[in-house]
């Protein structure tokens, strides 16, 4: 399945499940001084999560053009060193604005990956928020993954760096649960397909493919440099799946630059530079 087919399949799947398919917003966010570039699909819905704006739908899906080259989510230093980081990418996402929450978000993700894309469950790993002094551990997400079909030993706990998502220093945020995929040659071999490869520095053997954020808080600055979490008007969902990474998985290649999405651009550039 090509990158373009995956994008179509994702948007069609969520449309069939009651989501309004929404266009990508501009990569330069016109009215938000908290970010330089659009860094996630949820940016255009920030005010909807905060309860400051109403739309005529409570579920949405998009393929958002993102730039992560600065600010809170800055991948610039990784580009060219890993097989999975880009400055510009497309983020597939489904969103709930006070409609469904954790259980449906997890069930949709499982159903799409396992039943629609037919990914091998032996290659999947799940992470949940381990808790800290501000927000408790997400034991509920563990139980929901098990109910969906995940093996308990495939569910790992991580701290704030990996499993608590916020778009900027302030704004909507919450604990998140990531789905990781083992790309190696020996999924049945527990010495190769191992827990310690999840969120490892190398990260190209077992790679994050989808992040489910359980949006529950607004992070506000109470005085300079002091922040606190306030509850959102309603628990909500924001997810982000890298289209190019999903395409790596589905096309069986080893780098986002080898996918049908990016390879033609690499080849075109190589021809221009007479390096083909």
| Cβ proximity to ligand GLY, 141 vs 193, nearer residue | 141
| Cβ proximity to ligand GLY, 63 vs 211, nearer residue | 211
Q: How far is the CB of 40 from ligand GLY (least distance, A)?
A: 4
Binding mask 36-75 for ligand GLY (x = CB under 6 A): ----x-x---------------------------------
Q: Which of 24, 8, 180 is nearest to 90 (CA)?
A: 24
Binding residue (CB under 6 A) for ligand GLY from 173, 209, 213, 249: 213
| Cβ proximity to ligand GLY, 145 vs 165, nearer residue | 165
Contact 71, 39 (CB under 8 A): yes
> Using the rule CB under 6 A, is 172 a contact of ligand GLY?
no
Distance CA 154, CA 145 (A): 10
| Cβ proximity to ligand GLY, 198 vs 213, nearer residue | 213
Binding residue (CB under 6 A) for ligand GLY from 3, 172, 175, 240: 240
- How many residues belong to the site for ligand GLY (CB under 6 A)? 7
What is the Cβ-side half-sphere exposure of residue 220, based on CA atoms within 13 angstroms?
A: 8
Which residue's Cβ has the minimum distance to ligand GLY? Answer: 240
User: What is the three-class DSSP state of 147?
Assistant: helix
Who's near 269: CB < 8 A, 6+ residues apart? none
> Using the rule CB under 6 A, is 164 a contact of ligand GLY?
no
| Cβ proximity to ligand GLY, 14 vs 165, nearer residue | 165
Q: Which residues of 34-70 are buried (b: 16+ CB within 10 A; e: fewer)?
A: ebbbbbbbbbbbbebbbeeeeeeebbbbbbbbbbbbe
**Alpha helix segments (H runs only) across the chain:** 3-16, 46-50, 102-110, 139-148, 160-163, 243-251, 263-272
> Using the rule CB under 6 A, is 211 a contact of ligand GLY?
yes
């Amino acid at each position: 399945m090509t990158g373009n087919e995956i994008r179509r399949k994702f948007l069609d799947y969520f449309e069939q499940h009651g989501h309004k398919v929404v266009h990508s917003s501009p990569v330069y966010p016109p009215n938000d001084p908290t970010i330089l570039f659009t860094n996630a699909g949820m940016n255009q819905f920030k005010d909807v999560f905060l309860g400051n704006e109403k739309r005529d739908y409570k579920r949405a899906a998009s393929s958002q053009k993102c730039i992560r080259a600065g600010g809170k989510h800055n991948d610039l230093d990784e580009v060219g060193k890993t097989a999975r980081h880009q400055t510009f990418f497309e983020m597939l996402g489904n969103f709930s604005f006070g409609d469904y929450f954790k259980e449906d978000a997890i069930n949709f993700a499982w159903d799409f990956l396992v039943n629609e894309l037919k990914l091998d469950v032996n290659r999947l790993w799940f992470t949940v928020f381990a808790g800290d002094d501000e927000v408790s551990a997400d034991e509920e997400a563990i139980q929901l993954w098990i109910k969906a079909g995940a093996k308990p030993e495939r569910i790992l706990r991580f701290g704030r760096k990996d499993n608590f998502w916020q778009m900027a220093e302030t704004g909507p945020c919450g604990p998140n649960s990531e789905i990781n995929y083992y790309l190696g040659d020996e999924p049945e071999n527990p010495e190769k397909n191992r827990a310690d490869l999840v969120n490892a520095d190398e990260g190209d053997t077992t790679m994050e493919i989808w992040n489910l954020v359980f949006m529950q808080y607004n992070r506000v600055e109470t005085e300079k440099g002091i922040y606190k979490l306030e509850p959102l008007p309603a628990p909500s969902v924001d997810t982000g799946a890298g289209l190019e990474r999903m395409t790596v998985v589905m096309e069986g290649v080893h780098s986002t630059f080898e996918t049908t999405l990016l390879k033609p651009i690499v080849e075109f550039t190589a021809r221009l530079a007479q390096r083909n």
